[in-house]
Amino acid sequence: MNSLASIIILNLNGEKFLKDCLECLRKQTYQNLEIILVDNGSTDNSINFVKRNFPQVRIIANERNLGFAQANNQGFKIAKGKYIVTLNNDTRVDKKWLEKLVLIAEKDEQIGMCASKILSFKNPSLIDSVGVNICLDGMSRGRGRLEMDKGQYDKVEEVLLSSACAALYRRKMLQEIGFFDDSFFAYCEDTDLGLRGRLAGWKAFLVPQSVVYHYYSGTTNEYSPLKAFLVERNHFWVVVKNFPLKLILLFPIFTFWRYLLQFYGLLTRQGSSSKFAKNFSFWYLPYSVFKAYFSGLKGLIRVLKQRRRIKKQQKISNKEFYLLLKKFRLSFKELALKN
């Protein structure tokens, strides 16, 4: 339990969150850590605040917003730890958060990812995520999201993958498969990374004693045309890069079914599409979808090249991958109709 852990925190105008976030890290029971703050062109006083109050934090200051994926990759390039830990700036962590993550990771060299138990900052009795589940069309969602925390996820157990809001990754795995895909900019990059890790034979576990309180979408807008565009495009890339050919061929059918359910959700005021329509014109949705697939198809040659590399590294069979999707399957109904 003396392995160095490198914590990468991405920041964009998050000064209001940084005091809580960094104070919690200062009080960790596991102190063999380094903290790297990657600032994506903040116009508030974030950098000066950190320099003045947390001089031990290493800072990368970007002139503009490079997105979640590329900025975390910058942090990875200078990180020295055996473990790379991603942490959102809009979080507060329990004092044993890091200790519990490292403890589980140290037990098995094949554990490539550990997921924290992430609870709502505003209402700690609500679960934000305990790992990530995935739909047959590649869309993902926090496992247990918005369930009341009644101890139903209080044992260390296998999950499909970790949410990068608060996740531990083994450096050895990242050196083998790569870190986040820069081209994603933001959203779904942790799903892509997690699937690449699982395909390469690495394990993922939930560590429920590693508790995080998350102010959901504190830095970004929970429902916006940009998010709708990025999620729609990036999940398409996730499928093409990682899924077996049979599921890729079925992708249009699965996607059409999801759109039908989301339209029903819009009519009945359920799910994210309904929330989106409250804040923006309905017509932003089809426009964002069209724009997303246009951009997705433009990047298809690059994505297919990545797929070939991933398939060369694949150590589990397609049958084992199907079993993982079945075990951690996210239903279309939950995806489309739950908030």
pLDDT of res. 339: 74
pLDDT of res. 224: 83
pLDDT of res. 221: 59
**Is 25 buried (19+), middle (13-18) or exposed (0-12) by CB count in 10 A?**
buried
pLDDT of res. 104: 98
Report the C-alpha gap between 199 and 134 in whole angstroms. Answer: 15
Calculate the alpha carbon distances from 2 to 9, 31, 87 in Å.
Answer: 21, 9, 20
- The DSSP line for 261-286 is HHHHHHHHT-HHHHHHHHHS-TTHHH
pLDDT of res. 220: 55
Residues whose CB falls within 8 Å of the CB of residue 205, separated by 6 or more in sequence, listed in order: 104, 111, 113, 114, 115, 156, 157, 158, 159
Bridge-based pairing state of the strands 58-62 and 33-40: parallel
pLDDT of res. 338: 84
Calculate the alpha carbon distances from 13 to 49, 151, 219, 220, 250 in Å.
Answer: 11, 35, 8, 10, 41
DSSP H helical segments within the chain, as ranges? Answer: 15-26, 46-53, 67-78, 97-105, 171-177, 189-199, 225-242, 245-268, 271-279, 284-298, 300-313, 318-327, 332-337
pLDDT of res. 281: 66
pLDDT of res. 223: 72
Average pLDDT for consecutive 10-residue bins of the chain (339 residues)?
A: 95 97 98 98 97 98 97 98 98 98 98 98 96 97 96 98 98 98 98 98 98 78 83 98 97 95 87 72 79 97 98 97 96 89
